[in-house]
Amino acid sequence: MKILVGYKRVVDYNVRIQVKPDGTGVVTDGVKLSANPFDDIALEEALRLREKGVAEEVIVVGIGPADLTAHLRNGLAMGANRAIHVVTAEAMQPLTAARTFQKLIEKEQPGLVILGKQAIDDDANQTGQMLAALWDRPQATFASKVEIADGKATVTREVDAGLETIEVELPAVITSDLRLNEPRFIKLPDIMKAKSKPIDVIEFASLGIDSGDHLKTTHYAAPPKRSKGVMVKDAAELVAALKQKGLL
């Protein structure tokens, strides 16, 4: 079985995001970029399934500009067998990303696709669900535990009410939650090995995909700031202050 993994590059989660003063976007020049944390987890899960003998091949997919190569090499260094780079200079919305994955699925015929539950830049939390719909296959989102046997995946999902377990027939789309696993660290020899692993480069335009980008972002603004409050000296003063506001 082949596993296709979404491996998106985003602004590192430690970066303090600044909105450009003219409201046309956020400052991304010169800021640190990293793999979407959920995608590192998705990749780790795929690698573990390969190590268990459930899968033979793990393919990382990146959709983005020409300079995405170094980022994809990180995925290869972590352990993916090969990478697919769909080259586009334009940022795309989840429906278009899902249509792109669908094209790759037609070609690769994976038994499983693992994406992150959300990318921490746009926080859309959509691509996996949309892909599952287009592919007409099951989805198991927000996964915190995955077990695969007999052509089925049993997936525990982190939902608002607690932990839900569902069973899905393969092929299927799984999206990773934070507690699915702890991604491994990349070791130096792996970085060397990754240099000789193949990266297929596909021009987005050559895939003949209709854009599903029906939403236009017209303005970016910084969120309203909460003002700094007051420090109280002890428990009694705190209780008095909260009582005065009618909160206790």
Ligand X SMILES: Cc1cc2nc3c(=O)[nH]c(=O)nc-3n(C[C@H](O)[C@H](O)[C@H](O)COP(=O)(O)OP(=O)(O)OC[C@H]3O[C@@H](n4cnc5c(N)ncnc54)[C@H](O)[C@@H]3O)c2cc1C
CA distance 161 to 74: 36
Specify the residue, 164 or 200, whose C-beta has the smaller distance to other proteins: 164
In the bound complex, what is the minimum distance in angstroms from residue 52's beta carbon to other proteins?
A: 21
Which of these ranges, 1-9, 42-50, 60-68, 153-161, lies near other proteins under the rule CB under 8 A? Answer: 153-161
Footprint on residues 172-211 left by other proteins (CB under 8 A): 172, 177-179
CA distance 16 to 30: 13
CB atoms within 10 A of CB 114: 29
Element (H, E) at 203: strand 199-203
In the bound complex, what is the minimum distance in angstroms from residue 149's beta carbon to ligand X?
A: 24
Two tokens, residue 119: 């990318």
Kindly state the number of chain residues that form the binding site for other proteins, as judged by CB under 8 A.
Answer: 82
Given ligand X, other proteins, none, residue 248, with its beta carbon under 5 to 8 Å by kind, binds other proteins
Q: Counting contacts by CB under 8 A, is residue 235 touching other proteins?
A: yes
Q: Counting contacts by CB under 8 A, is residue 91 touching other proteins?
A: no
Contacts of 189 (CB under 8 A, 6+ apart): none
In the bound complex, what is the minimum distance in angstroms from residue 86's beta carbon to other proteins?
A: 18
Coil, helix or strand at residue 35: strand
DSSP assignment, residue 26? Answer: B
In the bound complex, what is the minimum distance in angstroms from residue 53's beta carbon to ligand X?
A: 24
Contact 62, 83 (CB under 8 A): yes
Specify the residue, 3 or 63, whose C-beta has the smaller distance to ligand X: 63
